Amino acid sequence: MAREVAALGALILLAGCVADAPPRSASATPASSSERIVEPWKTDPFPSTYHAYPGVPTLITNVTIYDGEGGRIDGGSLLLADGKVQAVGRNISAPAGAIVIDGTGKWVTPGVIDVHSHLGDYPSPSVKALSDGNEATSPTTPEVWAEHSVWPQDPGFSRALMNGGVTTLQILPGSANLMGGRSVIVKNVYARTTQGMKFPGAPYGFKMACGENPKRVYGDKGREPSTRMGNIAVDRETWQQAVEYKRRWDKYEKDGGDPPSRSLAMDTLAGVLDGKILVHNHCYRADEMANVIDMSKEFGYHVTAFHHGVEAYKIADLLKANDICAVVWADWFGFKMESYDAIPENLAILQKTGTCAMIHSDDPNGIQRLNQEVAKAQAAGRRAGIMIPDEVAWEWLSINPAKALGLADRIGSLKPGKNADVVLWNGNPLSVYTRPDRVWIDGALMYDAHDPKRRPVSDFELGQPGEGDVK
Amino acid sequence: MKRLLLVAALLCGTAHADTIAITGGTIAIGDGSQPIPNGIVVIRDGRVVAAGANVAVPAGAQVIDAHGKWVAAGIVAGFSSEGIVDGEGIEETYDGAAGKSVFNAAIDVSTSINPTNQSIAVDRTWGVTRAVVSPEAGNSVFAGQGAVIDTGADDTPVSKARAFQYVELGEDGANRVGSRPAAYVMLHDALAAAKSATHQGGDTKNALITRVDAAALLPVVEGRMPLVVHVERASDILQVLSLKQAYPGLRLVLLGAAEGWMVAPRIAAAHVPVIAGALADLPEAFERTAATESNVGRMEKAGVTVAISTVDVSTEGGQRNLRQYAGNLVGIARVPGMTGLDWGTAFATISSRPAAILGLDNEIGSLRPGRRADVVIWDGDPLELSSAPVAVWIDGVAQPMTSRQTRLRDRYLNPQEGALPKAYEH
């Protein structure tokens, strides 16, 4: 997705500036104070310290494989080694020293990716002291970063791994604010620090929200925005500042002189205008998504994905034409006014139209069953005459979310060379009766249903009754 | 519904006189038994006549072929807000908690059921034929009296009004009135007032509870109305079980009980049934630190009568997802170290069990003879994600299989507008 971000208005706006600069990963060295500051939104002051855990070359045989990009192999084999997928096919021989797992009756898929989670910033237990998801003191807080709220000991991470096969997740700020702040993409691996979970080199996301939540939160405080028109007005005022901020920095890059004063809030927005930070916009209603699309063109940025797009099916063609992904639930509906028109065929209609679509959870329970949510959405489509094969429906959990995170070159499918994020399921993963049997992240076995030592227990649960879900 | 049907049958004589035989399907009776392949279900006059393998098709019956399909008891939602709100966040429509009211225990939720509510219509098409509906607590530990409803497309939704009293005695109760001990003081004061109202002709002047609230608690103290108590923590569960010493007549039901597995033998010994949160496995509150998906299976194994509900898990998908939760409880039985349920028991937790817990299993919740004919034909295993109902009867009346959702689907199956705006496609 990242490579497409520079399209549209952004190109025009950035012409002659930095559009040709080689992309730098977010894990680049932090700018030290002695260097000349270059595009401060590209600095990486909280670099990932994640490393892949030790793995053993592993060959899984006799399994049904959904490769995550719409491919299916019956009676297939998968070889993992050195943290990467080495080979996928029918006849793969085990290298010396490899563990061989006979997967007869089982399925293999890429690890599940959830692009919308609040694990860590709204963790369990849900107490005030740990409520860190919404900096609801100003309608625009692009300066806050979700990673500074993430509690890496949230017990929810382990449930998502063991029950849901989730290997990568994007943790977002909440939706109280129009501009909620930066997201963080993490490996679903417990670590002592959030840096230890951060996906190395992943682009940042930027959380925005339309609709009921911002206008309710700030309307209740007696301030703008209290209406949908107020939502857009505050957004536009802020984007205009960002355009001017970026113009000052671009001029400085070109002409030198005194560096412009720096704003952390504007850095994030400049990063969006620069195509380096991907916009994830909470937006339920079709008409509001259309307003946001026009606004993005006005200021020269691209919306990567609309999240909670319960009315995406109404404008599937518009989303496709603008190269925007729809991120949706399978069947949540009617829990607020702007979700009143949700239908279970949403994903199927989007798929039929050729729109980039995917599932998401936004929920510490739902993240444990995203495979089941896909199964429901697929079945709803079938009954509406939209036939989507299992292996294609699985794209809603794999390559499509990988694209939306700007990580499709590394995760989201079982192509050789990609990260070995793999789930071995104990049956058909689109059945309600199926659970993960084993989960690998970067080739390391991080969950094994048969080995109590291969399941994580968070610090919080250690020494508490039961110590986690499997007691 | 029942009364209306009787009246209608008497007046018209023919309204539900037809006998229907549904043949060849896999039968899920709902009483905890395992599915029966190639069975027959016979319904007449709004009631089940017979269901099983060796059932004769009565002469003159309308025969419906269900080969390759499943024929199951309608799902009973164990604890819900069906029909009392048009959307959780749409506060103008919300009849759940009455924080502004001076009344609590006397609140009778059956007076607010709207049978044209869209949640009811949607869940009906997904095989949910009855629902336990409860108010939520406002500024008291007492929420009021819940009802059991049917989801039929008619104007008589209430199957049983004042089916139970609902009370909060865990963290939710403590947050409403100050602390757990304060919640118990309020409970004892109110029950004492109720008893005193019984013995002394309604004298409640020394209690903080109103006269009508005390009167509403009379049937609770006397054991004529179940008291559904929401608690999660093991210690809270034991505290609630001990209430029976002071009030031997209480018909206790536990709701939630995330830590029930820790004290399951005690719950079983007290013969107190549980409407549990199905898959609640997160320590989302300190009172649920020991939450596990195995909770339901372990309580069942210990001999507790368990139903499941959407309590403590996501409710945004509606009560129709209860079948998914029940299916998961079957699935986890295969996971080492976890305890689940067999299929028949899992299906019972969303059919006969909630009915039995409220003393209604002679009327609803299964396809046993004499029960109301709440019957669903599914195109596959009702607990499986790929399955959906193809026909639904409630009280023997065939129900519409459309809802506002199916209408929106049909309108937008092709999102592009035609010659006229979408508003003209209907």
Q: Which tens digit of pLDDT belongs to each residue from B356-404?
A: 999 999 999 999 999 999 999 999 999 999 999 999 999 999 999 999 9
Instruction: Give domain status of residue B413, yes or no.
Output: no
**Mean pLDDT value across chain A:** 92
Structure tokens at B40: 């027959």
Strand-by-strand arrangement of the B158-168 sheet: B75-80, B128-133, B142-150, B158-168, B227-231, B252-256, B274-277, B306-309
Question: Which residues in chain A touch residue B340, judged by CB atoms under 8 angstroms apart?
Answer: none
Q: Do A430 and B285 touch (CB under 8 A)?
A: no
Question: According to the model, what pLDDT value does residue B1 have?
Answer: 42
| pLDDT, tens digit, 9 for 90 and up, residues A28-86 | 444 444 456 678 998 999 999 999 999 999 999 999 999 999 999 999 999 999 999 99
Instruction: Give domain status of residue B418, yes or no.
Output: no
How many whole angstroms separate alpha carbon B40 and alpha carbon A65? Answer: 40
Structure tokens at A232: 């857009």
How many whole angstroms separate alpha carbon A428 and alpha carbon A57? Answer: 25
- CATH label of the domain that carries residue B142: 3.20.20.140
Q: Cβ distance B357 to B112 under 8 Å?
A: no
Q: Are residues B304 and B165 in the same domain?
A: yes
Q: Are residues B159 and B219 in the same domain?
A: yes
Q: Which of residues 86-105 of A touch B (CB under 8 A)?
A: none
HSE on the CB side for B358, CA within 13 Å?
36
How many whole angstroms separate alpha carbon B143 and alpha carbon B148? Answer: 16
Is it the case that residue A17 has pLDDT exceeding 60? no
Query: Alpha helices of B162-290 — where are they, by DSSP H?
Result: 171-177, 180-199, 211-221, 234-241, 243-246, 264-269
Q: Do B285 and A125 touch (CB under 8 A)?
A: yes
- CATH label of the domain that carries residue B13: 2.30.40.10
Nearest CB to A315 within list B383, B387, B415: B415
How many whole angstroms separate alpha carbon A57 and alpha carbon B169? Answer: 53
Q: Which H helix or E strand runs over B261?
A: none
In Å, how far from its chain's centre is CA B120? 13
Q: Do B281 and A363 touch (CB under 8 A)?
A: no
Query: By the CB < 8 Å criterion, does A399 face chain B?
Result: no
Instruction: Give domain status of residue B371, yes or no.
Output: no
Q: Which H helix or E strand runs over B96?
A: none
Question: According to the model, what pLDDT value does residue A22 have?
Answer: 40
Q: Are residues B133 and B106 in the same domain?
A: yes
Question: According to the model, what pLDDT value does residue A329 have?
Answer: 98
Q: Are residues B268 and B323 in the same domain?
A: yes
**Mean pLDDT value across chain B:** 93
Domains, chain A, in order of start with CATH, read: 2-34+111-410 (3.20.20.140)
Q: Are residues B353 and B399 in the same domain?
A: no
How many whole angstroms separate alpha carbon B283 and alpha carbon A105? Answer: 33
| Residue in the block written with tokens 């295969």 | B334
| pLDDT, tens digit, 9 for 90 and up, residues B124-152 | 999 999 999 999 999 999 999 999 999 99
In angstroms, the separation between the Cα of residue B415 and the nearest Cα of chain A is 5
Question: Which residues in chain B touch residue A127, judged by CB atoms under 8 angstroms apart?
Answer: 285-286
Q: Are residues B59 and B116 in the same domain?
A: no
Any idea what the Cα angle at residue B323 is, between residues B317 and B328, rounded to 5°? 100
Per the omega criterion (within 30 degrees of 0), is the bond before A429 cis?
no
Q: Do A432 and B259 touch (CB under 8 A)?
A: no
pLDDT-wise least confident of A22-36, A313-327, B83-97, B191-205? A22-36
Question: According to the model, what pLDDT value does residue A10 have?
Answer: 36
Band (B329; pLDDT cuts 50, 70, 90): very high
Q: Are residues B125 and B241 in the same domain?
A: yes
Q: Are residues B132 and B247 in the same domain?
A: yes
Q: Cβ distance A146 to A183 under 8 Å?
A: yes
Nearest CB to A364 within list B119, B259, B282: B282
| pLDDT, tens digit, 9 for 90 and up, residues A397-417 | 999 999 999 999 999 999 999
In angstroms, the separation between the Cα of residue B283 and the nearest Cα of chain A is 6
How many whole angstroms separate alpha carbon A63 and alpha carbon A75? Answer: 5
3-state secondary structure of B251: coil
Q: Cβ distance B166 to B228 under 8 Å?
A: yes
In angstroms, the separation between the Cα of residue A88 and the nearest Cα of chain B is 27
Nearest C-alpha in B relative to A467: B290
| pLDDT, tens digit, 9 for 90 and up, residues B227-244 | 999 999 999 999 999 999
Domain of B68, in residue numbers: 2-72+379-408
Size of interface A-B (CB pairs under 8 A): 172
DSSP secondary structure letter of residue B288: G
Q: Do B385 and A372 touch (CB under 8 A)?
A: yes
How many whole angstroms separate alpha carbon B278 and alpha carbon B295? Answer: 8
How many whole angstroms separate alpha carbon B167 and alpha carbon B255? Answer: 10
Q: Are residues B349 and B321 in the same domain?
A: yes
Instruction: Give domain status of residue B295, yes or no.
Output: yes
Instruction: Give domain status of residue B420, yes or no.
Output: no
Q: Do B284 and A340 touch (CB under 8 A)?
A: no
Nearest CB to B388 within list A353, A379, A430: A379
Structure tokens at A240: 């205009």
Nearest C-alpha in A relative to B340: A433
Q: Cβ distance B405 to B87 under 8 Å?
A: no
Q: Are residues B220 and B304 in the same domain?
A: yes
How many whole angstroms separate alpha carbon A134 and alpha carbon A214? Answer: 11
Question: According to the model, what pLDDT value does residue B409 have?
Answer: 98
Query: By the CB < 8 Å criterion, does A390 face chain B?
Result: no
pLDDT, average across residues A414-433: 98
In angstroms, the separation between the Cα of residue B209 and the nearest Cα of chain A is 31
Answer whether 0.90 is exceeded by the pTM: yes
Nearest C-alpha in A relative to B285: A125
Domain count, chain B: 2
Q: Which of residues 127-156 of A touch B (CB under 8 A)?
A: 127, 155-156
Question: Which residues in chain A touch residue B416, judged by CB atoms under 8 angstroms apart?
Answer: 317
Q: Are residues B174 and B285 in the same domain?
A: yes
Instruction: Give domain status of residue B422, yes or no.
Output: no
Nearest CB to B283 within list A155, A365, A385: A155
In Å, how far are A30, B95, B359 from A338, measured between CA atoms?
Answer: 42, 20, 39
Any idea what the Cα angle at residue A357 is, between residues A354 and A361, rounded to 5°? 165
How are beta strands A325-328 and A303-307 bridged, if at all? parallel
Name, in order, each residue with C-beta under 8 angstroms of A238's C-beta and a sequence gap of 6 or more: A140, A142, A178, A179, A269
Structure tokens at A212: 């009921």
| pLDDT, tens digit, 9 for 90 and up, residues B38-53 | 999 999 999 999 999 9
Question: According to the model, what pLDDT value does residue B206 have?
Answer: 61
Instruction: Give domain status of residue B416, yes or no.
Output: no
Instruction: Give domain status of residue B65, yes or no.
Output: yes
Is it the case that residue A9 has pLDDT exceeding 80? no
In angstroms, the separation between the Cα of residue B371 and the nearest Cα of chain A is 29
Nearest C-alpha in A relative to B312: A365
Q: Are residues B168 and B257 in the same domain?
A: yes
User: Does residue B297 or residue A468 have the better pLDDT?
Assistant: B297
